[in-house]
Amino acid sequence: MIDISAFQDALGIMFSSVGSWGWIVPGLIVGLVFSAIPGISITMAMAIVLPMSLYMDFFSAIVFLTSVYTGAGFGGSVPAILMNIPGSPSSFATTFDGYAMSKKGEHNEALGYALFASTICGIGGYLLLLLVVEPLADIVLRIGPLEMFAVAIWGMLLLGSLGSTYISRGLLAAALGILLGTIGMNTAGFTRGTMGIPVLLDGISPIPAMIGLLAAGQLLSLAGRDYIIEAEGSREVSVRRILKGCWGTMKFPGVLLRGSIIGIVIGAVPGVGSSIGNLIAYAETKRTAKDSATFGKGNPKGVVAAESAVASAEGGSMATMLALGIPGGGATAILIAAFMMHNIVPGPSFIETQKPMVYAIILNNIVQAIVLLAVGIGFIYVASNIVKVRTRYVLPAILVIATLGTYAVTGETAGPITLFVFALLGFALQRYQYPVSAVVVGILLGRMLETEFLRSYQLSGGNPLYLFERPGALAIIGVMLLSLGMTAWGKRRQNKAEAEEEAAMLRLQQEDAANRAGSHATKS
């Protein structure tokens, strides 16, 4: 719970460092711009601006870097919605319904939904962090390989909801993704599928592969058009409609809450982060929705679910970093580096001895989420004008930016080569109606699944009863089984209702036919 005395001291730190507040808007803009460029990750954006923070005082430096982190959390959704190309892996699930809304001319509303969900759940995530930052440290310490393996299995269940019209093709695409995700040397020292190419020893870089798979079909589909959105009337950029989307987010409180909880929990697990949290939140929302058939066709709930998990995961990652000094991902690793540069080590002793500073950092993150709403609307207004530019100018620009971005990720030509190889693979998959999304999820989760399984096997000595010694893993598996059971029950009820409706329609048609026959007989 909150230490009132430390909380008051935290307010004192914030109001005595008013100058540090001036770094919020520049930090948000840097994060928004960098993450909106496909291939430029949040980690890279923060690494580029890290040296600048060396010349600031500690609190100003952390305010600036966390502002970049907050801005980048939302920025990736802009290209995901407008062009179906996620700016970062954490925006992947946003493409499912966000781009479908854009194709219907609802890009303003879709961006409004994403921005407001990101803002509300960012605030909610940090408020919760304020309450649980100390007890959460104890919980995170109890998370082991078996719990991580259970989370990866949970993620794999998503493949069922990301399948194509043909289930067999969806499963084959998922298997291909897992196979690609396990290329290289594993933690046991075995190498697979490298074909003697040294660069593949570290495995396939997921960001160039994801951009290649998703961008290929998209660029080809746009090549036949004059504009990204063909109808001239739908290319309007309207602040009123963006605000309408923002307000519309409030219609889905359950989706926001579910996405936030999943985002915080998954975000707090070291090494997992928002790239998996958004997929799980999307799949759970789709699974429990009455209108699940409309997901993937422009349902706003899909955008809200994905973005709420991404924003909340920031709070979860920060909790792990502050409480344990363990980075939840690349971005929080950069934050730890910033702490070290100022001779401060995050972790249990930091919370114990400098609790007011911890509270001040969390409170400032809440302020950043509020400011993001205003800065984000301005950014969306400028970025959305890309729909008014002819594709003959947009497509080469996207290709060049994506190629340079993948080069920046790997630091060598392997990045662009991976991009083009997976672009060809993506084109082939789309040509024969195999779901590209299932391959992407397989690549993201394949290596994690294998690594955590091997660690669990080594810890347990091959004893399957080890599972019963891990209540956390049992709880996750219990939730999964409950989730599957509820899905099966819901499907059964839906099938029964559809059968009854079909029978009622058939009876009405028979009665109508009988009445017509009777009417003809009377006339004759």
Residue corresponding to tokens 């909380």: 7
| pLDDT at position 504 | 77
Closest CA to 275 of 336, 210, 220, 231: 210
Residues with Cβ < 8 Å from 187, sequence gap 6 or more? Answer: 451, 454, 455
Q: Is 118 helix (H, G, I), strand (E, B) or coil?
A: helix
pLDDT digits (tens, 9 = 90+) for 103-149: 888 888 888 898 898 888 888 888 877 777 666 666 666 777 787 78
Q: Is 343 helix (H, G, I), strand (E, B) or coil?
A: coil
Distance separating alpha carbons of residues 419 and 407, to the nearest angstrom: 9
Distance separating alpha carbons of residues 418 and 244, to the nearest angstrom: 40
> Cα angle vertex 365, ends 359, 369, to 5°?
145
| pLDDT at position 41 | 66
| pLDDT at position 233 | 65
Tokens (6 digits) for 13: 């730190």
| pLDDT at position 294 | 82
One-letter identity of residue 388: K
Residues 312 and 73: beta-carbon distance below 8 Å: no
| pLDDT at position 497 | 67
| pLDDT at position 326 | 67
Tokens (6 digits) for 302: 């899909």
Tokens (6 digits) for 228: 């990204």
Residues with Cβ < 8 Å from 306, sequence gap 6 or more? Answer: 77, 91, 93, 94, 96, 98, 259, 278, 281, 282
Distance separating alpha carbons of residues 435 and 153, to the nearest angstrom: 19
- The residue extents of the domains of the chain are 4-229+241-469
Residues 84 and 298: beta-carbon distance below 8 Å: no
| pLDDT at position 132 | 72
| pLDDT at position 348 | 67
Distance separating alpha carbons of residues 441 and 425, to the nearest angstrom: 15
Tokens (6 digits) for 415: 């990045």
Distance separating alpha carbons of residues 290 and 313, to the nearest angstrom: 26
Averages of pLDDT over each 10 residues, the chain, 524 residues: 78 81 88 75 74 82 89 83 76 84 85 89 82 67 76 68 62 83 81 82 81 72 72 74 86 87 76 69 81 82 88 78 69 78 76 82 88 87 79 79 77 85 85 78 77 84 82 80 70 68 77 74 62
Residue corresponding to tokens 């803009």: 29
Secondary structure (H, E, C), 361-372: HHHHHHHHHHHH
